[in-house]
Structure 1
Amino acid sequence: MRFKRNGSYTLNRKSKTKPNGKKTPAEEKKHYLEPEYTKVRVVDSDLKELVVLPREIDLNEWLASNTTTFFNLINLQYSTISEFCTGDTCQSMTACNTIYYWYDEKGKKSKCTAPQYVDFVMSLVQKLVTDEDIFPTKYGKEFPNSFESLVKKICRYLFHVLAHIYWAHFKETVALELQGHLNTLYAHFIVFVREFNLVDPKDMCVMDDLSEVLCTPLPPNAQQNHVTER
């Protein structure tokens, strides 16, 4: 059984007007942890139920379908703030106190700007998920032995992109009223990678505080601010 691999959330892009004032490190620090923002979600669904492997589905097929969907959604989410992520504003790919370096096919390490890093990530993932020998879509075609390791590599890179959006561009996300989409996407992604052990917890520890908040269901009587689709 093959899935149609595409996204499932809809982003309503707001005006391109840049928020007033330049952000400073002090303003950006943990801004995304404020309760008024963490309560904003798009759906009430139990995300744990969404990621559990269905009995009749092959594990690799499930990983392929979800990984491709997350790639499309994270790419779309980044595109909403990409005009604010430039070589001048983001001279390195950062999240909290971590700088991510890019490693090319030969293993050469290089420091690059955030937009360069994200471009490398998206280009690489696009190449992988559209390669029929790695992410087969035709019935009867087998997944390669290296498939799980490649999925782990993709998920690690996608986590870096999400972490950077929160750390460096959350104010812009709020100004565009897209924090509900970002929170829901992040929580769904974290629950998924934890379910199948796709990203080393040590690699995700920089965002543990946010993961704990967003992946813990809100109390039934808690007021949730949902995004209204227009």
Structure 2
Amino acid sequence: MNIAVSFSSFFEKGKTFRPKKKFSPGTLKYSLHKQAQASLNSGVNLQEAIKLPPGEDFNDWLAVHVVDFFNRINLIYGTVCEQCTDTTCPRMSGGPKYEYLWQDGDKYKKPTHLPANKYISLLMDWIESQINDESIFPVTTDVQFPKNFASVCKKILTRLYRVFVHVYVHHFDRLMSIGAEPHVNTCYKHFYYFVMEFSLLNSKELEPLKEMTLRICCDFHVSNYNK
């Protein structure tokens, strides 16, 4: 099965929550992006597709995947956003045990309770500002990545994972009703394998979806949860 094509063709029919971030043709990151997509298109096992290509810089590989996950998770949330309102989702949560508070150090200086749709909108704006900042995500090889680039990406990926948590826990019925479950599962597995391969998420963040993850990523070593 052509994973990337089937995913893209499905979500092209849906709503886009945010405009896609694209790489400029001719740049190294564009080439890496195409290389990553080609691996997915070839039907390669996802665990192999996320491995750092020989001779490539990890920061470039990380940047490409962070942008790709941002685009894909935007599309996923776009399929459920009409059902995610102040009334249906008054808190950004992943079930009764997990709630995520918003803090950006600017308008929200302290952790703040927000409806899920407001939290996710602020989150996507925040990530978009990060990836559009060329001092953080340089587009040419003559500009160096900042020293804290990996930690910036870890924070972005941690917050993006929370969108997965909310969508799976609170909007799974919607995913099922529109036939999106297998496509979202593929995106989730891609994300999960990537962050586990490079130790980019704290194991505590994975707890809300632990049982589901063990089920759909059963071909991955369970022991990785305890890293």
With normalisation by structure 2, the TM-score equals 0.77
| Residue pair 1:129, 1:135 contacting (<8 A) in 2 also | yes
**Between Structure 1 and Structure 2, which shows a larger proportion of helix residues?**
2
The percent of aligned pairs where both chains have the same amino acid is 34
Residue 49 (structure 1) aligns with: 48
- Are positions 1:10 and 2:8 aligned together? yes
Residue 80 (structure 2) aligns with: 81
SS at the partner of 1:103?
Answer: coil
* Superposition map of 1:124-143 within 5 A: 124-143=126-145
Counterpart AA for 1:176 = I
- Are positions 1:199 and 2:198 aligned together? no
Question: How many pairs does the alignment contain?
Answer: 187
Q: C-alpha separation between the residues in 2 aligned to 1:43 and 1:127?
A: 32
Query: 5+ residue gaps in structure 1?
Result: 1-6, 17-41, 219-230
Which aligned runs of 4 or more in structure 1 are off by greater than 2 angstroms?
A: 11-16, 42-45
SS at the partner of 1:57?
Answer: coil
Counterpart AA for 2:83 = F
Q: C-alpha separation between the residues in 1 aligned to 2:154 and 2:90?
A: 26
Query: 5+ residue gaps in structure 2?
Result: 16-40, 221-227
Report 1 or 2 for greater relative contact order, CA contacts < 8 Å, sequence distance ≥ 6. 1
**Between Structure 1 and Structure 2, which shows a larger proportion of strand residues?**
1
* Superposition map of 1:1-230 within 5 A: 9-12=7-10, 45-96=44-95, 97-105=97-105, 107-217=109-219
Give, in angstroms, the shift of residue 130 of structure 1. Answer: 1.1
Residue 34 (structure 1) aligns with: none
Q: C-alpha separation between the residues in 1 aligned to 2:14 and 2:92?
A: 26
| Residue pair 1:93, 1:99 contacting (<8 A) in 2 also | yes
Counterpart AA for 1:132 = E
In structure 2, relative to structure 1, the CA distance for the partners of 1:153 and 1:160 (3 Å cut) is same
With normalisation by structure 1, the TM-score equals 0.76
